[in-house]
Amino acid sequence: MQPSSSEVPVVPNAELERERLISLINSMADGVIAIDETGKIVAYNGAALNILDLNSSMSGKDLSLLLQLVDKDKHPIDLMSLINNAKTATTSRDYLLKYNDNSTINVYLSIAPVHLSFGKSGARGHVILLRDITSEKSLEEERDEFISVVSHELRTPVAIAEGNISNAQYMADKTQSNEQIKDALKQAYTQIMFLSNLINDLSTLSRAERGVLTIDVEDINVHELAEELAKGYESQTAAKGLQIYLELDPHLEILRSSKIYVREILQNFVTNAVKYTQKGGVTIAAFAKPTGVLFEIRDTGIGISVGDQRKLFDKFFRADDPRTQKESGTGLGLYVTMKLSKLIGAELDVHSELNQGSTFSIFIPNLNLPTVKTPSNQPVTGLTPPIS
């Protein structure tokens, strides 16, 4: 019995499917290059030819001979090492494409490992996406330069205003001025400090975006750093009726990293914890790890939704939660924290539930190993009582 037409299997036309795939790739504005596991080019589109400034076939050629990447200092990049180390999809906007006449353009580079279906078992390979982002980079550099200049020029007038308001507050207290004057001075001081912190964030952001931040590695006594942080927030937590705790591993040793960046990262986390916690407390914890120190900042605050956690470290992001919006902020603090963390090789993580509090974790590795084995002074075991 002959099978009915509905039962006859449809055998796809391999050549037709290949033509469709080529048409799809050629319709893309980004340059697309597929290579096999040896780095030979097996497929590409017209946009790739345009970006590489070529007018002849690339099939079968070594990608590393055609795609010459350099870093911002014009040092050559080992392309095949970059590709072979990409175990998952990897992207970057930090490389430049160098042409034969030594001119360069900024490129967006995406590397994705795939199985290319050549043969029954398929061949290992990668798909490379390229895009010319020179114009975007130019605009970013102009923006960063503007932020740098503005933040620098505002420092002096803000510092003068802060000093004068602080003196006025002192005199108002001494001369028993009326409460309206004191309240006005207090509000003015609060706003000028907000502006000062904003300028600091903008300045750090500008330097981080331009890659001009440097790392001064030094010995950090983690016990002392944590205790200084806790003490610095005593007045703020007391004013809100909160407790602040220290939970420090007694086996902590000296951490080798940038003290100024480690402090700023932890301060940003603690500041947010105090700001968005109305009852309960904030815990500063630190645990010894084989290659560094794991810090945790825990709070019993309003928490963060799952959706907002994905955008938490985005520039200028602020959650839509009304409890967040009523607190002043620019949305730059955690973005700057992320930038500084990358600079010192730290790893960030966050766990949070709405109305249950949040835990921000950061693992900070020792830099310039070997690790110094000098133990910290005054070890603290377990959870210490709240600091009064």
Which CATH number characterizes residue 39's domain? 3.30.450.20
Domain match, 90 and 61 both: yes
Return the percent helix, strand and coil in the chain, to nearest 5.
40, 25, 35
Would the pTM count as exceeding 0.75? no
How far is the C-alpha of 42 from the C-alpha of 36, rounded, in Å? 7
Q: Which of 159, 193, 209 is the last residue of a domain?
A: 209
Domain match, 161 and 78 both: no
Domain match, 119 and 192 both: no
Domain membership of residue 7 (yes or no) is no
CATH code: domain of residue 185: 1.10.287
Domain match, 124 and 160 both: no
Domain match, 37 and 177 both: no
Q: Which of 132, 154, 174 is the last residue of a domain?
A: 132
The reported pLDDT for the residue numbered 180 is 78
The reported pLDDT for the residue numbered 167 is 82
Residues 6+ apart with CB under 8 A from 190: none
Domain match, 145 and 110 both: no
Domain match, 86 and 198 both: no
pLDDT tens, residue by residue, 87-114: 888 899 889 999 988 899 999 999 999 8
Give the chain's residues under pLDDT 50.
Answer: 1, 3-6, 8, 11, 116, 118-120, 369-388
278-to-70, 101, 237, 239, 368 alpha-carbon distances in Å: 50, 62, 10, 11, 41
The reported pLDDT for the residue numbered 289 is 93
The reported pLDDT for the residue numbered 115 is 60
Domain membership of residue 381 (yes or no) is no
Domain membership of residue 85 (yes or no) is yes
DSSP codes, 239-280? HTT-EEEEEE-TT-B-EEEEHHHHHHHHHHHHHHHHHT--SS
Sheet holding 347-353, edge to edge: 243-248, 281-289, 292-299, 357-365, 347-353
Q: What burial letters (b/e) apply to 48-69, b meaning 16+ CB within 10 Å?
A: bbebbeeeeebeebebbebbbb
The reported pLDDT for the residue numbered 163 is 82
Residue 36 belongs to domain spanning = 12-132
The reported pLDDT for the residue numbered 370 is 40
How many distinct structural domains can be found in the chain?
A: 3
Domain match, 227 and 359 both: yes
| Neighbouring C-beta atoms of residue 195, cutoff 10 Å | 15
CATH code: domain of residue 266: 3.30.565.10
The residue assigned the tokens 């130019």 is 138
Domain match, 256 and 361 both: yes
How far is the C-alpha of 41 from the C-alpha of 33, rounded, in Å? 7
- Is residue 374 a contact partner of residue 253, using CB atoms and an 8 Å limit? yes
**Token duo for residue 156:** 């002096």
How far is the C-alpha of 151 from the C-alpha of 197, rounded, in Å? 11
The reported pLDDT for the residue numbered 109 is 94
Phi-psi region of 43 (alpha: psi -120 to 50; beta: other; left: phi over 0): beta
The reported pLDDT for the residue numbered 312 is 83
Domain match, 256 and 315 both: yes
Domain match, 242 and 361 both: yes
pLDDT tens, residue by residue, 42-78: 889 989 999 999 988 999 999 999 999 999 888 999 9
- Is residue 280 a contact partner of residue 300, using CB atoms and an 8 Å limit? yes
Which among 277, 260, 283, 281 is positioned nearest to 336, based on CA atoms? 260
How far is the C-alpha of 277 from the C-alpha of 32, rounded, in Å? 49
Which among 46, 69, 47, 44 is positioned nearest to 59, based on CA atoms? 44
The residue assigned the tokens 């907000």 is 194
Domain match, 81 and 154 both: no
